[in-house]
Amino acid sequence: MILGIDVGGTHTDAVLIDGNRVVEKVKVVTDRIDLSRSLLKVTDKALHETNPEDLERVVLSTTISTNAIVQNLTSPVGMILASGPGLSPSALRINENCHFVSGYVNHRGIPVAPIDKGTVQKTGMLFKTSGIDHIGIVGKFSCRNPDIETDIEDALGFTFSHCSLGHRMSGNLNFPRRIATTYLNASISDIYGDFITMVTAFAGRFKASFPIFILKADGGTFEINQSARYPVQTILSGPAASIMGILSLAEFTTDAVALDIGGTTTDIAIFADGSPLLEPLGVTIAGHKTLIRGLRTRSIGIGGDSAAEFVNGEYIIGPERKGPAAAFGGPCPTPTDAMVVLGLTEIGDKEKALAAIGTIAQKAGHTAGKAAETIFDETCRKIARAVIGMVEEVNNEPVYTIHELLEGKRIKPERLYAVGGPAEPMAPAIGSILGYSVNIPDHAEVANAVGAALARTTTELTVLADTEKMIATIVEEGLQLSISPKFSKADAIGICKEKLRERALSMGAAEEDLELEIIEEHVFNMVRGYSKVGQNIRIKGQVKPGLISRCMKSAPAR
Amino acid sequence: MKKIKKTGLVFFPAFDWAISPTHPEREERLLYTQDQVFEEGLLDFENIIEYKPGLATYEDINRIHISVPDAEKVTTQSHLISAGGAITAAEKVMEKNVDNAFALVRPPGHHAMRVVHGARGFCNINIEAIMIEYIRRKYGPKRIAVVDTDCHHGDGTEDIFWHDPHTLYISVHQDGRTLYPGTGFPREFGGPNAYGCNINIPLPPGTSEEGFLFTLDNVILPILKDYNPDIIINSAGQDNHYTDPITNMNFTAQGYAILSERLSPHIAVLEGGYSVETALPYINVGIILAMAGLDYSQVREPDYDPALIKQKPETTKYIEELASALMKKWESRNDEKNKLPRSGQFESRTKSIYYDTDNIHEEQTESVRLCNDCSGLVTVDSRATTGNRIFAVIVPGQSCPVCRKRGEEIFASKSKSLYDYIYFQDRDCDVYECRKR
Ligand SMILES: [Zn+2]
Ligand SMILES: [Zn+2]
């Protein structure tokens, strides 16, 4: 059995899954002061008839990292940047403890200037004396040659409690994002470390031992001890949990759109052939653009509790939420009240809903029925427009080959999957505007916990080979190998798959869930003068985000 | 503090297209540029917006070129995308989505002339010219200046706009006595109806930052100020760089960035530039930062050493004299133009054109009607070693009734027995017709 727990800001949800059946679902209010109490409470409830020894694994989705960043509960980080030529350092200064050092590699990973060890050591001393114990080291093009960062680390001359290196965060290009990612990773390492201690203590209270996994922003998991070095990967796992939940509850292999309609906001995600789309570069958090692999979601400020107003001849809905719906004692009319008035749902106090809709109807000179209908329509239309906008954005993503430009895949969703409180009354109307068929999965109210429980372990890996320099780099592992001038694309793909497999297994993946795929493969002949001097080979592979294998066999029982 | 501008970037490196595997115009050309642009995170700046290129249509090509036998036969998809990329850049500027835009696309176009029998100087169709005619068709008549900073003389662009007083073409390049295509001298000053609208600035080999920026400040910018165009386009070739393998100049990434900032083009379109690893990544980052009004002061090549590329004093002296001669010629352009005959008669020139990329020779007689009321009707009689002989009638934009009527008469009266194809291109009415033998 698998226990999936989603620790959200308001509620902590748990599901117990046996085979592919949800056998238990539990919701408790999150204790924000002491998360372990929520964990214990929800687990006790979920396991009341189950022996902990029967647990194959426990998967947690947590907001701990997200909250630490958003609420600024982070540790000070000493940043050392080898920025080389290009953008001016003033554009790269991420915090007040940012130091720039000389030395850089170029776009091919060829060292151009060595680091100045003396300066690095002095900087290390400065950090030490000012009590900074968390370090981030980032070099331009370090994803092409990690030596630049390891050399700096070696030259520091002191031991710090945490040191994050840029190339370990991602194999993708983007120096400013690498800086932000490395900084955030170092800044939350303490608070995340406390979380691990807490979870380990919590697990220790059971007589049984079971592996614990943590959900990442890309909708994949990693084993808890593996997560300790890369806490930043766990940000924004809340929306990821819902999306993976929809995938596991509905099971589909087509292009589709998923909506999580909440009180204040609605989250949109897109699936291509049944796989959730990832952000092209990385997710954005608290204004930081990062290289963190994450599911591509858009959040719009409209939901069941959005305030509805009549201004200048128009009904305006959201983005503000002034409180719950009037039907639940809230201060103003909302889409939920409109749905209550229209008889689309039977929740709350209908009289209060009618009264609230009545005031806005009077202002508009409409009947209450007409007002409710218009508010409801406009809410659904706004969400539908955002869906269309997001699909268009995905389809207009720049591409760099003629083949992709002329024949690249275009997303054409035909199905809408919706979860969240107002999903049942709203999804059919949104679907009909979009011309999509509509599906509301069972157990939708705990989709997040189901998603966490059933997500597989994911990771990606970049292999670069330069046959002129006779070097292959396995970027995220910080490895460089000597290769022969005859090293081929097939060789690079072979190494990528092998190392990717090892990496995924070490992160806790199960053998049967290693759905490896090569997502980028480029080979360029390098020509100098009029003759070929070598090949520049670039391979990126991933474990495809998805569900652990046994859920793929059949849909969960109803 | 610099003024931040909203800059559109149409980036299309065409990673799956080459003229041939080891040709300078190959898949690898913009690879390291992409690496550098991505690593610098330029696309994350709020004021730098990336756009996917559209596809140019054969109609877009037919507004500017006479393609033999037709536009489809002289192009591949790659050409439609690079011309389409330039058009996308222009549209974003014209629709005021952005303040300026850079089409970082390939293959280039500035050696493609009005008549196209094949590819020359790596170019099949002239992507800036197609873009310019697109702008005029969609947004109405415009005074447009093209400043071509590629190391090679843009003989194609010169040919296409030779008779057009509404387009000022300024080319700064390595002296044609020392480099392909061997043209681009100050005496090439525009056709009789557009005298003074074609400015060539041939610089000696070894010209460095100093010489380029002197030319910019003392020739290009003053002429632009006088001409007062609605739109400035930069044909942003990058082969003046000191590491370019097929040229002999000493320009730098910093120099290109300064030039972009001072020239301040509305639209820049990549042309040549074949130092793919040591120059292009830095030049392009410099140009993008400069166009966006961001700090480019830290952009430099890894091997940059000002002492190694210092301009010789005799080069400096030569450039100063050239500049003052050019400015004299520019200032007396109206007097000179008034001395030319205005008879309503036709004036002809003959040209021998070599298509180096496709190994084709063309012999051409081009005639223009001397006209006080418009750019003048143009006819072309052209024969190529492909075996094709064609005749073309071009009625210019903003044409006068007399030129139009004469054009229609000539097209109707041309005998099919002499020509394989007879073309009629009417820019005002957006008509393109072709009669086959
Ligand atoms: Zn050139
Ligand atoms: Zn005329």
Domain ranges of chain B: 7-334, 346-436
Co-location of A65 and A89 in the same domain? no
Q: Are A446 and A242 in contact (CB under 8 A)?
A: no
Co-location of A155 and A224 in the same domain? no
Q: Are B105 and B34 in contact (CB under 8 A)?
A: no
Q: Per the structure block, which two tokens stand in for A118?
A: 């003396």
Co-location of A206 and A171 in the same domain? no
List of chain B residues whose C-beta atoms are within 8 Å of the C-beta of residue A289:
41, 44
Q: How many domains does chain A have?
A: 3
Q: Per the structure block, which two tokens stand in for A275?
A: 């796989």
pLDDT of residue B1: 60
Co-location of A19 and A110 in the same domain? no
Cβ-count burial of A142 within 10 angstroms (0-12 exposed, 13-18 middle, 19+ buried)? Answer: buried
In a domain, residue A365? The reply is no
pLDDT of residue A63: 86
Q: Read off the pLDDT of each residue in A277-303 and give the average, rounded to a whole number.
A: 94
ipTM of the complex: 0.94
Q: Is A140 on the interface with B (CB under 8 A)?
A: yes
* R_g over Cα of chain B: 21
pLDDT of residue A545: 87
Co-location of A154 and A289 in the same domain? no
Q: Is A201 on the interface with B (CB under 8 A)?
A: no
**Whole-angstrom distance, CA of residue B358 vs CA of residue B386:** 10
Co-location of A446 and A496 in the same domain? no
Cross-chain residue pair B297–A88, CB shorter than 8 Å: yes
pLDDT of residue A264: 87
pLDDT above 80: residue B407:
yes
Co-location of A508 and A534 in the same domain? yes
Q: Beta strand pairing status for A57-62 and A98-100?
A: unpaired
Parent domain of A538: 460-543
In a domain, residue A548? The reply is no
pTM (2 decimals)? 0.94
Question: What backbone phi and psi angles, to 5 degrees, belong to A300?
Answer: -115, 150
Identify the domain boundary among A184, A219, A250.
A184
Q: Please identify among residues 11-70 of chain B the ones whose CB lies closer than 8 Å to any CB of chain A.
A: 11-17, 21-22, 26-28, 31-32, 34-36, 38-41, 44, 50-53
Co-location of A450 and A496 in the same domain? no
The residues of B that are catalytic are 111
List of chain A residues whose C-beta atoms are within 8 Å of the C-beta of residue B81:
402, 405
Co-location of A59 and A155 in the same domain? no
Cis amide bond preceding B181, omega within 30? yes
Nearest to A524 among B31, B44, B301 (CB): B31
pLDDT of residue B331: 97
For A406-455, write each residue's pLDDT tens digit.
988 899 999 999 998 899 999 999 999 999 999 999 888 889 999 999 99
Co-location of A122 and A82 in the same domain? yes
Unique residue bearing structure tokens 């300066």: A119
**Whole-angstrom distance, CA of residue A56 vs CA of residue A452:** 14
pLDDT above 50: residue B436:
yes
Q: Which amino acid is at A351?
A: E
A454 CB-near residues (< 8 Å, 6+ apart):
A2, A4, A17, A244, A248, A547, A548, A551
Nearest to B78 among A112, A140, A402 (CB): A402
Q: What contacts 24+ positions apart, CB below 8 Å, involve A118-127?
A: A120/A80, A120/A152, A120/A155, A120/A156, A120/A157, A121/A155, A121/A156, A121/A157, A123/A78, A123/A80, A123/A99, A123/A156, A124/A155, A124/A156, A124/A157, A124/A158, A125/A157, A125/A158, A126/A78, A126/A99, A127/A78, A127/A97, A127/A158, A127/A160
In a domain, residue A171? The reply is yes
Cα torsion through A383, A389, A393, A396, rounded to 10: 150
Q: Is B77 on the interface with A (CB under 8 A)?
A: yes
List of chain A residues whose C-beta atoms are within 8 Å of the C-beta of residue B27:
524-525
Tell me which H or E stretch contains B147. Answer: strand B144-148
Tally Cβ neighbours within 10 Å of residue A476.
22
Identify the domain boundary among A129, A155, A184.
A184
Question: What backbone phi and psi angles, to 5 degrees, belong to B200?
Answer: -110, 135
In a domain, residue A363? The reply is no
Q: Read off the pLDDT of each residue in A337-347 and give the average, rounded to a whole number.
A: 95
Tally Cβ neighbours within 10 Å of residue B142.
15
Q: Per the structure block, which two tokens stand in for A372?
A: 């409710």
**Whole-angstrom distance, CA of residue B437 vs CA of residue B429:** 25
Question: What backbone phi and psi angles, to 5 degrees, belong to A106?
Answer: -95, -175
Q: Read off the pLDDT of each residue in B368-374 and give the average, rounded to a whole number.
A: 94
Distance from CA of B233 to the nearest CA of A (A): 24
Q: Are A221 and A215 in contact (CB under 8 A)?
A: yes
**Whole-angstrom distance, CA of residue A437 vs CA of residue A256:** 10
Distance from CA of A296 to the nearest CA of B (A): 16
**Whole-angstrom distance, CA of residue A449 vs CA of residue A4:** 5
For A18-76, write each residue's pLDDT tens digit.
987 899 999 998 888 888 889 999 999 999 888 888 999 999 998 889 989 988 889 99
Nearest to A91 among B51, B53, B295 (CB): B295
A250: CATH? 3.30.420.40
pLDDT of residue A421: 86
Identify the domain boundary among A124, A157, A184.
A184
pLDDT above 90: residue A98:
yes
Question: B7-334: which CATH number, 3.40.50.720, 3.40.800.20, 1.20.1070.10, 3.30.565.10?
Answer: 3.40.800.20
Co-location of A200 and A297 in the same domain? yes
Average pLDDT, chain B: 96
Nearest ligand by distance to the CA of B346: 2
Q: Are B267 and B95 in contact (CB under 8 A)?
A: no
In a domain, residue A370? The reply is no
Q: Where are the beta strands (DSSP E) in B190-328?
A: 198-203, 231-236, 267-270
Co-location of A178 and A232 in the same domain? no
pLDDT of residue A552: 42
